[in-house]
Structure 1
Amino acid sequence: MPSISTQTLPDDSSSVASRNYRILWRWHFYAGLFVMPFLMVLAITGAIYVFKPQIENLLYGDMLHVAANSQPRLAYGKLLGIAAGALPADAAPTSVSVSADPSRSTEAVFRLPSGDSTSVYLDPYSGRLLGMLSVEHRLMKQVRQLHRDLLLGRWGGWLMELAACWTLVMLGTGIALWWPRKQFAVWGTLLPRLGLRGRAVWRELHLVAGIWVSIGALFFILSGLPWSSFWGKNFQALVTWAGASQPKAVAKAPPAHEHDMSAMADMPAMKMQELPLANVPWAVGATTVPQSHQTPQQALDIDQVVEIAARSGMATYQLALPAKSSGVFTASYAPGAGEFVRSDLDRQRTLHIDQYSGKIVKDLRFADYNPVSKLVTLGVALHMGEYFGLANQLLCAAISLALLGMALSGFVMWWLRRPQNSVGAPKRVLQPPPSITRWKGYLALLGILFPLMGASMLAVWLGDTLLFRKRT
C-alpha cells in the first residue's frame, strides 16, 4: 500500500539515507498499487472461507446432518443405487463419503453428462433423499475459487500468485520504511500517537498496524504459495520427485497379465490431485495413482472396499471410485473435507486399493512425509483455520481483516495526497545511493525463487526506466 512521509522529500543532492528512503517508498508505492485490489479480494474471501464448516452447516445443515440412532446403516452399495435413481441414467458415481459420525449424512458425488458434478445427500439409516447440491456452484466453492484464481482459471491463478509475491516486496519495503532511524520510541513506532489530525492519522495507523500485521501476512503468503498455480505446482512436483511424499513401504501388487501391462503402458499416469475428491493432502497431491491388476475374478463392490479400509484402521474418509477397469479405489482422509473442523494431521492417510484383489497397493501416511511436506501440511492447516479449532479460525479472520484495513488505509492516504492528473508516485532518485546494490540483490533473489515474479520485476523495471527516465 502507498506510504507517505510527513516531511518534504529532499532532492538528489540530499543524504544517502534520504535517497534510500525515497527508493524504498517508490517500490512500496508501486507494489501497493498493484497488490491492493487483489489483496482486498484475498482478505475478504479468506475471512469468509475460514468459516466454511459453520457456514455450510448453516446453509445446508438439513442435508449434512441426520438424527443419530441405534439402527444399522444401509449398505453403501444400496445408498449409491438410491442416489443414482434421483439422477439421469448416464450420471456416473465418482466418490462417496464414509463417516464414523452417527449424525452425518452420506454424500455421494456423481458426474453429470454436462461435465459438472452433483452431491446427493442421503439418510444412511433410511435411505431417504435429503437433497442435492452442485459441487462447482455451491457458495463456498465459489468463494474458494475467487480466493485462488478470481474465477478466471489459470490466468487468474497466475495473477493471484503474482499479487502474493509482490506483497512480499510491499512487506519488505514497508518494514524498511517503518524502521526507526533516530532514537526508538514506543509511540509512533509500536503504538499510534494520540492527537494527530488529518492525513497524519492515516499514516500513523498504516505504519503502526502494518508492522503488527506483517508477521501474519508473511505467514499467509508463505503457507498459501504451495497451493499457487505456477510456483506451487512446480514446487509440489519437485518435492514429490525428491521422494518427500513417498511412503517407507508400499505393498506390491500381484503381477499383471502381459496384455494388461501393454494396455496400462498406453495410459497417462493419473495424479492424486486429479481424483474426484473435495480435498487431497498437499503432500500426496502430485503422487501417481497406481493401477489395478486385472484378474479373472470380478471387481469388488463398494461395501467390500469399505470393510477393507476399516480393517486397515480408516473410519472417516472420502472414497474415490475407479472410473476405468484399471483404476483403484482411493480412500483419503484430509483436513477440510466437509466435517473436519480440527485438523488431526497425524491421522492424514491415503489408501489405494486394487479393485479386483482388494490388496492395498499404496499406503501414504503423515508419518512417512519428509520434513518439507510436514511443514507445508502444518502451514496449510493453520492457513485455513483447521489446526486448533475456532481460535485458529478467529485468528485467521482477524489477520485477513487487518490486511483489508491496510489496503483501505493505503488507498485513503493516496487519495488525500494525490496530485491532479497524476498517479502521484514518489519522485525517482536520479542518483541512487550505494545501498541500491543491496536492494537489487534482494529483489533478484526473490525473482530467482519465484520466476513468475522475476519476469514481472523485469517488466516493471523496463517500464520505469524507459517511460519515466526523464521524469522525477
Structure 2
Amino acid sequence: MPAFLREDTTRVLFADPTLGESTYRTLFIDPGTAEIRGDLPTYGSSGSLPVRTWISNLHRSLNLGEPGRIYSELAASWLWVIAVGGLLLWIERIRRKRAANTSAAANTRPVRGRARTVWLHGTTGTVMLLAFLFLSATGLTWSASAGANVSTLRTALDWTTPSLKTTLTGEATAAAGDHSGHGAGAGAGPGQGTGSTLEGTAFDPAIFDTVARAARADIVTAPMIDIKPSVKPGTAWSATEAGREWPASASAVAVDPATGHITNRLDFDDFNLAAKLTRWGIAAHMGLLFGLPNQLVLLGVALALAAMVVWGYVMWWKRRPTRGTAWAVGRPAPRGAFLRGHWAGVLIAITSMVALGLFLPLLGWSLLVFVVVDTLVGETQRRRHFRFASHQKG
C-alpha cells in the first residue's frame, strides 16, 4: 500500500503463518529514507491495527473464537425477527387502545412504572427499526452459516462481485486493447527480463512503481491502493482501490510486470447493483463509509439496542412468571392455540419457518430447540396437573 501524502508511510504486508486468519505482518516504511517506522500485525482488507482488530473481534466473536462467532451470528439471525415482531406488537397495542376509546392515553407518554418502560421500549424500537434491520442483514452477509447461503443465492441470481483476471497469455498485452499502453509508455518497464514472479523468488522493487503508475494512469483514483505481486508464473500483478469511504469503490487493474501494460481492468461503475450495495453496506456496517459521522450513528444505534435489551428484561421482571401466581404472565395464549388456527395460515407459517430455518441455520436450530423445550415443559405441566387432579378425586 504506497504512501499517498508526504507524511504517510508505505505499508508492506507479509503473510505470516504464525498469525491468525486474515492477519498479516505489516511494515511501515518511510518512502523517502526506506526507514522502518513500525512493525505491527494488521487485520483484513482494511488493514486494521491491533487495537481496532481487538475491538472488531470483540464485535465479531466476543474474542472467544468460534463459539463467540456462533453466538454473534445467532444474535444477528434473531435481531430482525424480534424487531419486526416487536413492531407488530406495538402496532397492535396502539390499535387496542384506540379501539377502547383511549387514543389520548395511547399518545401520552407514561411517567412511571412498567407502562413507561413499555413506552420507551416500543418507541425506541419503532424509531430504530430500519437501523436494526440494516445491522442484521449486513452482519449476516459475512457470517459463517447464513453467509454461505447468501453467497449461494447471489451466485444463483448473478449478483456476485466481478473478479479481476490476472492470468497472462502470449496475447495478453495485445488483448489489453486501448488501455494496454496506459501508464508505462511504449517500452518495457523496469521489471523486463524478470517475467512473472515465482513464489519465494526475488523481483525488482521498481516494478511496484511501474504498477502504481499504470494503475493511476488508468482507472484507479482512490488515495489508498493495494498492490499485490504475482506469486505464480503466467499471472499479472494487481492494483486495487483500498479506500472504503464514500464514494466507496473497488476498481482494479492487472499489470504485466514484464511490460508494464494493463492486461485487464475492473471498473466499479460497471458492477451490478447488488455488488455495489454489498460493498457500500459492509463499509457502512464497519463505520468506514462516511467516516466519523458513520461511526457516531452506529454508536447511537448500539446504545439504543443495548437499552432495548435492558428495558426488555425490566418488563419481564415486572411481570415475571414467579411473581404472584405461579406461571401467571398476564394472559398468555393457551397452549396449542397456534395449531388450532386456520389450516392455511398454519401451513404457510410452518412452511415459512422451515424455509427461514434452512436459509438461516442458527435461527432454524435455535427455534427448533425452543419448540422442543416448550413442548416438554407443557407436557410436564399437563402430567403434573393430571396427577394432582387424580389425587384430589382419590
Question: Does TM, normalized by the shorter one, top 0.5?
Answer: yes
Distance of 2:105 and 2:286 partners within structure 1: 33
- In the other structure, the counterpart of 1:432 is 337
Question: Tell me, which stretches of 5 or more residues in structure 1 are unaligned?
Answer: 1-96, 257-291, 337-341
2:95 aligned partner = 181
1:459 and 2:369 aligned: yes
1:210 aligns with 2:125: yes
Residue aligned with 2:95, SS = coil
The structure number with the bigger radius of gyration is 2
Taking only aligned residues, the RMSD between alpha carbons, in angstroms, comes to 3.6
State the partner residue of 2:33.
126
Q: How does 1:17-416 map to 2 (within 5 A)?
A: 97-112=1-16, 114-115=18-19, 117-135=24-42, 138-179=50-91, 180-182=94-96, 183=98, 193-195=109-111, 197-236=112-151, 238-240=153-155, 242=158, 244-246=160-162, 253-255=168-170, 301-313=204-216, 314=220, 316-323=224-231, 328-336=236-244, 342-345=245-248, 347-356=249-258, 358-416=260-318
Of the three residues 358, 374, 379, the one matched with 1:469 is 379
Q: Per-residue CA shift, 1:339-369, capped at 9, x if unaligned?
A: xxx3322x42233444555554543331232
Partners of 1:375 and 1:215 in 2: CA distance: 16
**Offset at 1:141?**
0.6
**Aligned residue runs from structure 1 range 8-19, under 5 A:** none
Decide whether aligned partners of structure 1 residues 108 and 410 sit closer, same or farther in structure 2, where only a CA change above 3 A counts. same
Contact 1:192 1:208 in 2 (8 A): no
The question of whether the paired residues in 2 share the 8 Å contact of 1:149 and 1:158 is answered with yes
Q: Which amino acid aligns with 1:349?
A: S
1:232-251 Cα offsets, whole Å, 9 max, x none, are 2342355357373236x958
For 2:288 and 2:103, locate their aligned partners in 1 and report how far apart those are by CA, in whole Å.
35
Structure 1 distance, partners of 2:239, 2:259, is: 16
| CA displacement at 1:204 relative to structure 2 | 1.8
Letter in 2 for 1:211: T
What amino acid is aligned across from residue 172 of structure 1 in structure 2?
V
Shifted more, 353-362 versus 371-380: the winner is 353-362
What do residues 408-432 of structure 1 show as CA deviations (whole Å, max 9, x unaligned)?
1112222333344989877462241
- Matches of 2:377 and 2:334 in 1, distance apart? 15
TM-score normalised by length of structure 2: 0.70
The 3-state SS of whatever aligns with 1:468 is helix
Aligned to 1:312, what secondary structure does the other structure show?
A: helix
Q: Is residue 240–residue 252 contact of structure 2 (8 Å, CA) maintained in 1?
A: yes
Deviates more, 1:376-385 or 1:231-240: 231-240
TM-score normalised by structure 1 residue count: 0.60
Q: Give the 3 Å change call, closer, same or farther, for CA 414–383 of structure 1 in structure 2.
A: same
For the Cα contact (< 8 Å) 1:199–1:416, is it kept in 2? yes
Greater relative contact order, per chain length (Cα 8 Å cut-off, separation 6+): 1
Amino acid across the alignment from 2:288: E
Task: Determine if contact 1:350/1:365 at 8 Å carries over to the other structure.
Answer: yes
**Structure 1 233/446 Cα, relative in aligned 2: closer, same or farther at 3 Å?**
closer
Distance 1:368 1:134 in 2: 34
AA at the equivalent of 1:312: A
2:115 partner letter: A
Distance change (3 Å), C-alpha of 1:460 and 1:188: farther
Distance 1:400 1:100, change over 3 A: same
Identify the residue that residue 449 of structure 1 maps to in structure 2: 359
Q: Is the alpha carbon distance of 1:251 and 1:335 closer, same or farther for their aligned partners in structure 2, counting shifts above 3 Å? A: closer
- Which whole-Å deviations, capped at 9, do the CAs of 1:106-153 have from their partners, x for residues lacking one? 222234463464322232223333233233681111111221223344
Corresponding residue to 1:418 among 294, 297, 320:
320
Q: What letter is aligned with 2:131?
A: G
Gap runs ≥5 in structure 2: 44-48, 172-194, 383-394
Whether contact under 8 Å (2:321, 2:327) holds in the other structure is yes
Q: Do the aligned partners of 1:246 and 1:369 also contact (CA within 8 Å) in 2?
A: yes
Residue pair 1:354, 1:361 contacting (<8 A) in 2 also? yes
